[in-house]
Amino acid sequence: MAAPGRDGELRRTFPAFPPRSGEDSGIAETWWGNAWVTALEEGALDPQRLARGRGYAGRGHVDAITVTPGLVLAYVQGSRPRPYRVQVRLRTLDDADWERFLDAAAERPGHIAALLDKELPHSLADCGVPLLPGPGDLAPQCSCPDSGHPCKHAAALCYQTARLLDADPFVLLLLRGRGERELLDALSRLSAARAARAAQDKGPEPLPGVRAGEALTPRSLPPLPAPLPAPPHPEQPPAYPAAPGGPDPFALDQLATDAAARAHALLTTGRDPVGGLTFWQDAVRLAAARPGSGLTAGSRALYTSLASAAGRTTTELARAVAAWRQGGLEGLNALEESWDPPAGRFDRARPLLLAADLPAFRPWRNRLTHPQGHVQLRLGRTGLWYAYESEPGREDWWPRGTPDLDPVGALTGLDTPGGL
């Protein structure tokens, strides 16, 4: 019976309501929903059956509800294993009633707005058309052997129908014979016709405008208001939920946080702190901003995505991240470029290393390499020394330690065999 796939303009099927919690009080919440409950209870012959029907409704015994013009239909689980087929009939309105209703609804623009907001105004219900049922207007039928009027199963269906009316008064209008789309289309046509008649009766209004001489007269505009003060710090973006097959919520949070920080810096300083970075440098910066170190399980997806976008491998990105964390953009430059430094600081480094009982490092361009090929120093363009380590006999250099103006200080904490 309850087949949403067969629903159309004049048939709507609603899923069963879940059982109500113990804190829920009452059945209906709107005045029109309560008017439906009043019609049920004032027309009932046995309050005990109403009470049992209310209990059935509260415990979720009413299955999916189908509403068609003049009929509410559902299966209700009773005391027997097989549920009972219950229907409640209500007289539909004739064409004259609908004409009066549409005239009343189109008379005030607020009526249509209220209906679209799922509200039923009192003035629309009091337009002379019997929208809401009165005592005795509800005609229940049930397949159970109980001859009460209504039986507890029909009462349960009526109580749940009141909750449907609460959520959408168009359910009541469908019960009275017209579907939502048909009513809205008729109201739209009627409102447009009334507006056209009103405009024709009123006549054309003069077009707004100003004289050309007034428009071209030189004038001074008032000064712009002072800009709002900049916030003391970037705001935290909202939390992004995870979705199957969707983007990583942590990566979204990282990008949003980074964008907020850049926008705050641009607002307070007038410049973008990372605006001059290349695509690769910005990818390294974003990867380095992720908490943790190395290619952990949490960062592997981000590293793979960034490295692929930049045309690099994840190992190259991990090495670049280590350089960025060591010294920012200058640290990344020390990793990726070699250059010929002028005489001075570079030439003084070897005597300083010898004075610290370190062996003679081999120079090449801006780099000094331990004779055993295990430790290397690289001079950055700002004068800082950056320490690197590799397995002996391999050219697999990774940034280590903290950059320092003193080459010996840059090696602090590193294992330098044969020297310390």
The answer to whether 179 touches 171, Cβ cutoff 8 Å, is no
Q: State residue 295's pLDDT score.
A: 55
pLDDT digits (tens, 9 = 90+) for 106-149: 888 788 888 888 999 888 888 888 899 999 999 999 999 998 88
Q: How far apart are CA 339 and CA 384, in angstroms?
A: 14
The mean pLDDT of 46-75, rounded to a whole number, is 93
Give residue limits of the domains in the chain: 6-191, 249-336, 345-410
Residue bearing tokens 């009773």: 78
Residue 247: pLDDT over 80: no
Across the range 167-178, mean pLDDT stands at 92
pTM of the model: 0.48
> What is the arithmetic mean of pLDDT over 266-294?
83
351, pLDDT greater than 80:
yes
pLDDT band for position 420 (50/70/90)? very low
Choice among 58-67, 252-261, 335-344, 388-397 with the minimum mean pLDDT: 252-261
**Three-class HEC string of the chain:** CCCHHHCECCEEEECCCCCCCCCCCCCCCCHHHHHHHHHHHHCCCCHHHHHHHHHHHHCCCECCEEEECCEEEEEECCCCCCCEEEEEECCCCCHHHHHHHHHHHHHCHHHHHHHHCCCCCHHHHCCCCCCCCCCCCCEEEECCCCCCCCCHHHHHHHHHHHHHHHHCCHHHHHHCCCCHHHHHHHHHHHHHHHHHHHHHHHCCCCCCCCCHHHHHCCCCCCCCCCCCCCCCCCCCCCCCCCCCCCCCHHHHHHHHHHHHHHHHHHHHHCCCCCCCCCHHHHHHHHHHCCCCCCCCHHHHHHHHHHHHHHCCCHHHHHHHHHHHHHHHHHHHHHHHCCCCCCCCHHHHHHHHHHHCCCCCCEEECCEEECCCCCEEEEECCCCCEEEEECCCCCCCCEEEEEEECCHHHHCCCCCCCCCC
